[in-house]
Amino acid sequence: MALGGLHVTALPEEAEVYADTIFIGPAEQTFPEFIQDFKAKRTKKRYISTNNRTIQDIPPARRDLIKSEKYLVPNSLVMSRGCPHHCDFCYKDAFFKGGKSFYTQRVDEILTEISQLKGRHLYFLDDHLLGNRKLAYELFEGMRGMDRVFQGAATVKSILEGNLIEKAAYAGLRSLFVGFETFSPENLKQSNKNQNLKLDYERAVRRLHDLGIMINGSFVFGLDNDNSDVFRRTVDWGIENAITTATYHILTPYPGTRLFDSMINNGRITTYDWDLYDTRHVVYKTKGLTADELEKGYWWSYKEFYKWSNIFKASFSHDSFKYKTKHLFYAGGWKKIEGLWNIIINIGGLQKMLPLLELLLSEIKKDEKEKQQLTKLYIKNGQEY
Ligand code: B12
Ligand code: SF4
């Protein structure tokens, strides 16, 4: 038995009790090595990813093996692995330890991959789709005219800088996961999330809305500078700024992260039951809030944000009728009809929902000339100006 992935990488000693072989870190290079060793009957106990990491020139994913009718989003793909930033609570530095922690595909490879995918919808799994701006620029340039709609994730900073985000929008970006995380500068500093410091979150939101890009805002509760008003403030901000969907998390010190080490050093970890490390439970000694307040506030936030009255309020603050409708159906469908989703999955109807998703992600029209003007981005020697 061979095991790999995030959990195994974070806790190899625990994992190897259950396996003949474990994989630490990304496996694009170590798995082929394992196959060779397996054939030669000399498999090792551990395969550790080193600095020779790449996702270029690797064999294409065997998408023919995917039962696409069972998925709402069969076209998931990766342009980059990792991220250029180093937030203390993130899995990234621990997972990519011992080698590169941000590396990319070649643009021609990813464009070929995209051109072979059925349907219009794409889902980029990248931690930070705009992390390498030059590459992202070339990707979006190449995707123009491909008639795709896609979703991805990026930082607030990358939305505010230059006009790459316009380029993304006109290539088909319709929904973006954005790591706002916290409004407190002290919390940002404590988390080494300095790239968010002194940024105008509202300007980033307006920019995305002007381009018809729906926002899935990510927020973390329980950082040391939070107190009991954090839930109300965060939810109100999301509604007032017409964030389409919100993902709330209770701060979780995943093993291997700097956050985990610092919690251990300060005697703050309260449980090692990994099942509770799901961003829904408090697993450490809190500071500005009690653990009970934090869990209750977390659940209250979800309930409050996804109340129909608040979904309506946020939807109707958009200018265009089309955006209002899209917001209403997307947010409503995301959280409000979970029971219905289970029925759709059980009767094997997920693929039939894809055209609906594509419709919700359709473009909010802009004049062609305006688009060209907005996407004129100048790059020389890898620098934007
Ligand atoms: C897409 C995604 C989701 C989707 C998953 C959809 C699906 N059906 O697959 C959804 C939205 C459902 C989701 C949910 C959650 N997610 Co999520 N998710 C991701 C995301 C963005 C991509 C995962 C992915 O496919 N990566 C691409 C593949 C190629 O990489 P990989 O999985 O690491 O696999 C490589 C290696 O690990 C290794 N490998 C993996 N498995 C195996 C097995 C073997 C045998 C071998 C040899 C090798 C191997 O080889 C692969 C190639 O190198 C990651 C961030 C990221 N970029 O990875 C977060 C991430 C994994 N999610 C995270 C979290 C916190 C969650 C939730 C707990 C959030 C929540 N509160 O609900 C839930 C948990 C769901 C669950 N039950 O487990 C965290 C995990 C943190 C941690 N340290 O564990 C991440 C890292 C995001 C982050 N930056 O914090 N997630
Ligand atoms: S910006 Fe996001 S993906 Fe990158 S290190 Fe920070 S939390 Fe992780």
Distance CA 221, CA 383 (A): 36
Question: What is each CA distance from 43 to 39, 53, 98, 256, in whole angstroms?
Answer: 9, 21, 21, 26
Instruction: Give pLDDT, residue 385.
Output: 41
Write the secondary structure of the chain as one string of H (helix), E (strand) and C (coil): CEECCHHHHHCHHHHHHHCCEEEECCCCCHHHHHHHHHHCCCCCCEEECCCCCCCCCCCCCCHHHCCHHHCCCCCEECCEEECCCCCCCCCHHHHCCCCCCEEECCHHHHHHHHHCCCCCEEEECCCCCCCCHHHHHHHHHHHCCCCCEEEEEECHHHHHCCCHHHHHHHHCEEEEEEEEECCCHHHHHHCCCHHHCCCCHHHHHHHHHHCCCEEEEEEEECCCCCCCCHHHHHHHHHHHCCCCEEEEEECCCCCCCHHHHHHHHCCCECCCCHHHCCCCCCCECCCCCCHHHHHHHHHHHHHHHCCHHHHHHHHCCCCCHHHHHHHHHHHHHHHHCHHHHHHHHHCCCHHHHHHHHHHHCCCCCCCHHHHHHHCCCCEECCEEC
Residues with CB under 6 A from ligand 1: 2-6, 23, 26-28, 31, 78, 90-91, 125, 127, 249, 254, 278-280
Distance CA 33, CA 205 (A): 45
Instruction: Give pLDDT, residue 370.
Output: 62
The residue whose CA has the least distance to atom 33 of ligand 1 is 5
Please give the distance, rounded to the nearest whole angstrom, from the Cα atom of residue 127 to the centre of ligand 2.
7
pLDDT in tens, the chain (385 residues): 999 999 999 999 999 999 999 999 999 999 999 999 999 999 999 999 998 999 999 998 999 998 888 888 889 999 999 999 999 999 999 999 999 999 999 999 999 999 999 889 999 999 999 999 999 999 999 998 899 999 999 999 999 999 999 999 999 999 999 999 999 999 999 999 999 988 899 999 999 999 999 999 999 999 999 999 999 999 999 999 999 999 999 999 999 999 999 999 999 999 999 999 999 999 999 999 999 999 999 999 999 999 999 999 999 999 888 888 888 888 988 777 777 777 787 777 777 787 778 877 877 666 666 666 556 554 444 555 4
Residues with CB under 6 A from ligand 2: 83, 85-87, 90, 92, 127-128, 155, 179
Strand bridging mode 102-104 / 121-124: unpaired
Instruction: Give pLDDT, residue 375.
Output: 60
Instruction: Give pLDDT, residue 378.
Output: 46
Residues 6+ apart with CB under 8 A from 13: none
The residue whose CA has the least distance to atom 82 of ligand 1 is 91
The residue whose CA has the least distance to atom 86 of ligand 1 is 91
Q: What is the pLDDT of residues 60-96, one digit of tens each?
A: 899 999 888 888 888 999 999 999 999 999 999 999 9
Q: What is the pLDDT of residues 173-230, one digit of tens each?
A: 999 999 999 999 999 999 999 999 888 999 999 999 999 999 999 999 999 999 999 9
- Ordered by where they begin, the domains of the chain are 1-49 (no CATH), 53-375 (3.20.20.70)
Q: Which ligand lies nearest the alpha carbon of 154?
A: 2
Distance CA 148, CA 116 (A): 12
The residue whose CA has the least distance to atom 35 of ligand 1 is 26
